[in-house]
Amino acid sequence: MGSEPETNILLARWQNGESSARDRLIARLHPELVMIAAARLRGERDSSLSTGDLINDAVLKIMAMDQNNLADRAHLIALASRMMRHILVDHARLKSSAKRGHVKVELCTAVEGGQRLDLNCLESALIRLGAIDEQLMELVEMRYFGGMTVADIGIVTGLSEPTIKRRWQTARAWLTDALENPIDDA
């Protein structure tokens, strides 16, 4: 993954319009992006998405945005994780609308208690959580979809590790309840 200062220098150079720095930055972060994408796809059956597809789609979405709000590697990884989440949810919706049975995927993260979740139900629960507390929703997103550590989340949010751990417990409890008691949109 390389050293973080070098990564942040490349990020700054990309933000100043240097496309070769962007390419070197993506190449430097590629092993980490592969791990995140592979973890997101593990357990998905009959998927037409590959790890490479997920990474490429996420990178293309990031390149299309204004990257000036990215402070460092942790922020870029958090954004890539968010993009991968949206891509997976869109893919699940497309499969569902095509009248094919969507199977649950296993969210393989660095957090305890791996479980199989329906991405549509998870997305609905995250939208509801975001309406209540957007920071909690972002925390779930970073942990589940980004596999980010408490330390990385602290860098992105500016919160202390004990605060993040307490908020994570709250978010997990809320999410568990929301997934066990989904709201029927029909």
Most trustworthy range by pLDDT among 14-18, 49-53, 162-166: 162-166
**Cβ atoms of 88 and 120 closer than 8 Å:** no
95-107 mean pLDDT: 54
Whether residue 185 is contained in a domain is answered as: no
Q: What is the domain count for the chain? A: 1
**Comparing C-alpha atoms, which of 89, 91, 76, 93 is closest to residue 142?**
76
**Is residue 70 assigned to a domain?**
yes
Tell me whether residue 19 is in a domain: yes
Q: Is 106 exposed, middle or buried (0-12, 13-18, 19+ CB in 10 A)?
A: middle
Q: Which residues constitute the domain of residue 79?
A: 4-180
> What is the reported pLDDT for 167?
92
- The DSSP element (H or E) to which 17 belongs, if any, is none
Does residue 63 lie within any of the structural domains? yes
Q: What percent of the chain has pLDDT over 70?
A: 80
- C-alpha span between 135 and 141 (Å, rounded): 10
Is the pLDDT assigned to residue 126 strictly greater than 50?
A: yes
Please give the Cα distance from 144 to 181 (Å, whole number): 19
Q: Do the domain assignments include residue 186?
A: no
- Domain membership of residue 153 (yes or no) is yes
